Amino acid sequence: MITLNHYLVLSAILFSLGTLGVLTRRNAIVIFMSVELMLNAVNLTFISFSSYLGNLDGQVFVFFVMAVAAAEAAVGLALMIAFHRNKDSIDVEEFNLLKW
Amino acid sequence: MENLVQFVSKNLEQGAEPFKGIADAGQATVNFSAIMPSMVLTCFGLLLLMVVAFSPKGKSGPVAGLSLFALAVTGALSIAGWNSTEIGFVGTVALDNFATFFSLIFLLAAGLTILMSGDYLKREGCTITEYYPIIIFVTAGAMWMASGTELITIFLGLEVLSIGLYILAGIFRNNLKSNEAGLKYFLLGAFSTGFLLYGIALTYGATGTTRLAGIASYISANGDVTSSPLLLAGMVLMAVGFLFKVGAAPFHMWTPDVYQGAPTPITAFMSAGPKAAALAAFIRVFMLGLEGMKVDWSMLFWIVAVLTMIVGNFMAIQQTNLKRMLAYSSIAHAGYALVGLVAANAIGMSGILFYMLVYTFMNIGAFGVLVLIGKKGEENLTLDGVAGMGYKSPVLAVVFSIFLFALMGIPPTAGFTGKFYIFAGAVESGYIWLAIIGVLNSAVSLYYYLRVMVSMYFRPGTEDFSWIKPGAAITVSLVIALAGVLYLGILPGAVMEMAKLAAF
């Protein structure tokens, strides 16, 4: 029997994996994919709570999160393309103009 | 159709789940007047996008003027709604004095920014006129954040604001610094959104609702939930998300890089409007939704406020680039604002509202002066770059000095009155040490602000500053900012009364 706890633990693991990916990866696109993993872990949390509580707010939230993530992806990839045109790389090690 | 009506009314009688919010809010109607100002602003934004799309390339035409008109109309609508609370969309949006006061701050910030943008964009060779509509959309997002009384609304407002700002920070496509600022802001912003959302999800799981009023009533009805790990983790993660947007330590790392790389008017806007929006949502969520957990979060924010003030001020000391220095100073100012949140009493809350208004005037003013001083590429915005400006361009140097005095918090400028109310709130709530640390930090900040003035007046410069030619629009913007700083410094009473009515 799969209970609420199983879903919560799974989403916590996915969220941690996403966080770890953001902190350790060097390629901007892979970092962005890790962020998407975090968002999807959150979606899983919302849906499992929604089903557990018998309340639709969580599922509504998931639709909004997906819409926002799509908009974010459009803008983010455009920014990456602009950066790549000027620098021929999207390695975050190349983000070195602005620092103290 | 009839069946549906019957179904709905039957459900309503039974108080079934999907309609639970109606009972919470006591308002079943959609009530468009609750979103009237932001709706009008959004429509203007869409219209402006059309104008941009159909104007010849590189010709902004009437876009800047129309944007200002849109902001003015929205401002008039907001002011007309002062003192009348409109609740709409089954209790997810509330247009109360709090939302109106913050909306006026955002509109003012956007207006001052648009006024100083025209000449700047021309100088930097930017032909992307979508710049203005995006500012309009960011402002609308900020207004939704301030008026949202439900976590979905607040989240959507936050994202509309953030996505717009990612574009604006990176809008100079051929400038590597701007690219880098936009991309850094995007990656870290999306990362922090993940934390905010996870916090919201856990809070939803613990309380069963995303409505702030519902969360508050659940917490007061079930006292033991305050020690549940689910709700505590949710609260901390939400705080992380909001603190990132406010630019508080230890989540401030993006601030200096993004502020330095972004176009200067956008930096000015970012440091005033969106910061105030994040604080507004912060106050709503924590004072309205999670008030039952005040014991937990006031301790957390005490630490964050102290850390933010110290990091901001001490890092600012080391900077030679003026934009970067003002970025660190904006971190420090976020720390002062958080002091008011820790105090969590009437004077502290109205102090935050008043301070954000003051900060809008003084910070946008200071950045406006930087817009004028900069040459193309802005390599000269350093301490050395302004050497000798006090004699070559005396009026601008005096104006800059007044804004810097205001940022320091020296009377009779508004910076003093703003800090005074916030620290008074902290003392009233018994956080005397917090107030003392805040005042000591203000003293530290004297060092790096005064250093700019020393450079302007006491160091020989090689430049003649002949490139400084203030246009009409930016002059208007600086005059408004200057008038605001002096008026709120000398006669703060009337506006402070408004802030008191707006705070809760």
Q: Which tens digits make up the pLDDT trace of B89-140?
A: 888 999 999 999 999 999 999 999 999 998 899 888 888 888 999 999 999 9
Q: What pLDDT is stored for residue B246 in this prediction?
A: 93
- pLDDT surpasses 60 at A49: yes
Question: Which domains occur in chain A, in start order?
Answer: 4-94 (1.10.287.3510)
CB contact (8 A) between residue A60 and residue B152: yes
- pLDDT surpasses 50 at B1: no
pLDDT band at B276 (very low <50, low <70, confident <90, very high): very high
- pLDDT surpasses 60 at B22: no
Please tell me which residue of chain B has the smallest CA distance to A74: B163
- pLDDT surpasses 80 at B439: yes
Q: Does B382 touch chain A (CB under 8 A)?
A: no
Complex ipTM: 0.96
Instruction: Report chain A residues whose CB lies below 8 A from the CB of B152.
Output: 57, 60-61, 64
CA distance B489 to chain A (A): 34
Instruction: Name the more confident of B260 and B17.
Output: B260
Beta bridge mates, B95: B86
**What value does the mean pLDDT take over residues B256-267?**
94
d(CA B211, CA B200): 11
Q: Does B187 touch chain A (CB under 8 A)?
A: yes
Q: What pLDDT is stored for residue B504 in this prediction?
A: 74
Residue whose C-alpha is closest to residue B294's, from B235, B228, B222: B235
Residue of B198, B209, B325 to mutate, interface with A, max A Cβ within 10 Å: B198
- Angular region, B16: left φ>0, alpha ψ -120 to 50, beta rest: beta
Q: Does B252 touch chain A (CB under 8 A)?
A: no
CB contact (8 A) between residue A57 and residue B204: yes
Q: What pLDDT is stored for residue B21 in this prediction?
A: 43
d(CA B61, CA B56): 9
Q: Does B314 touch chain A (CB under 8 A)?
A: no
**What value does the mean pLDDT take over residues B354-368?**
95
CB contact (8 A) between residue A32 and residue B208: no
Mean pLDDT of chain A: 92
> In this structure, what token pair is assigned to residue B125?
């060779």
**What value does the mean pLDDT take over residues B180-200?**
94
Q: What pLDDT is stored for residue B24 in this prediction?
A: 47
Contacts (Cβ under 8 Å, ≥6 apart) of B34: B86, B87, B88, B89, B93, B94, B95, B147
Is residue B351 within 8 Å of residue B418, measured between CB atoms? yes
DSSP letter, residue B459: S
pLDDT band at B2 (very low <50, low <70, confident <90, very high): very low
DSSP letter, residue B150: B
d(CA A1, CA A33): 31
What are the distances in angstroms from CA A31 to CA A17, B63, B334? 11, 36, 28
Nearest CB to B166; choose among A42, A65, A79: A79
